[in-house]
Amino acid sequence: MSFELRLKHRIGEVEISLDTACEAPLTALVGPSGIGKTTVLNCIAGLIRPDEGRIAVGARVLFDRAEGIDLKPEQRRGGYVFQSGRLFPHMNVAANLAYGEKLAPAEERWITREEVLTFLGIGHLLQRAPETLSGGEVRRVAIGRALLSAPKFLLLDEPLTSLDAERAEEILRVVERIRDELKLPILYVSHEMREVERLTGSVIRLG
C-alpha cells in the first residue's frame, strides 16, 4: 500500500473529505481548482493539521488523530514539489539542491547528487540564481531538491502548470522515470484527467 488517506478538514467554505487507500506506485489526485487538492498535500506533508483522520504512507503512520500521532514536517520525510517551485531565492541552484541533502541521514540517502543531475539534466545550472531560471528549469531543480532530501514518498503539486507542451512533456517523462525506476510512492495532483491518464490508473477524485 502506498497512500492511506482518511481525513476530514475544513478551510472556510471548503470541506475536504477523503477516505481511501491506494496500492499503485503513482496515485493521481484530481479535481477542479479550489477544491482543496493542495490542502490535502499540505496535510500529508505536515504543514496543515487536519481536523480529524489518519494519514499513512507505506507502513509509516504520519498522522492519527485518535492515537495522538502527528509527526512534524521534518520527520515525515516527504519530498514535496510545490506548484511554484519555492526555490530559496538567496541560494544558487547548488545550494538549493544541497539544502535537504545535508539534512538527510547518510544511511538513508538512496540517490547521489550526480545521479540527480544527470537524471534531471540540470548539471549546467548549478551556479545559477533561481530568479534566472525558466519555468521548466525551476520545476526540475525543485524535483531534484526534493529527491536529494532522501524522501520516503513524493508529492507533486500540478507539476505541469504554466509550462509549454515541450517542457511539460519533459517533466512528464521525468515523473514516469521516477515512478518506474526509483520505486517511490508518488501522489500527483492535477486538475486535468487527461494529464494523469497516461501516468496511472489509480485516481482519487476530489469534488
Partner 1 sequence: MILTPEEWGIVVLSLKVSLVAMGLTLPVAYALAWLLARRRFPGRMLLDAAVHLPLVIPPVVTGWLLLILFGRNGPVGAWLYDWFGITLVFRWTGAALAAAVMALPLMVRAMRLSIEAVDRRLVAAARTLGASRGRAFWTITLPLSLPGILAGAVLGFARSIGEFGATITFVSNIPGETRTLPLAIYSGLQVPGTEMVVARLALISVALSFAALLVSEWLVRRKGGGHVL
The site for partner 1 (CB under 8 A) is made up of: 45-47, 72-74, 76-80, 82, 84, 86, 88-90, 99-100, 103-104, 145-146, 149
Nearer Cβ to partner 1, position 90 or 183? 90
In angstroms, the Cα distances linking 91 to 17, 47, 97, 119 are: 38, 23, 10, 22
Amino acid at 180: D
Is residue 130 a contact partner of residue 87, using CB atoms and an 8 Å limit? yes
CB of 149 to partner 1, least distance (A): 5
Nearer Cβ to partner 1, position 149 or 200? 149
CB of 96 to partner 1, least distance (A): 9
CB of 41 to partner 1, least distance (A): 10
Nearer Cβ to partner 1, position 53 or 79? 79
Is residue 136 a contact partner of residue 170, using CB atoms and an 8 Å limit? yes
CB of 105 to partner 1, least distance (A): 9
Reduced to 3 states, what is the DSSP secondary structure of residue 190? strand
Nearer Cβ to partner 1, position 152 or 167? 152
For the chain, what's the residue count?
207
Q: How far apart are CA 108 and CA 80, in angstroms?
A: 17
Task: Write out the three cell numbers for 11.
Answer: 478551510
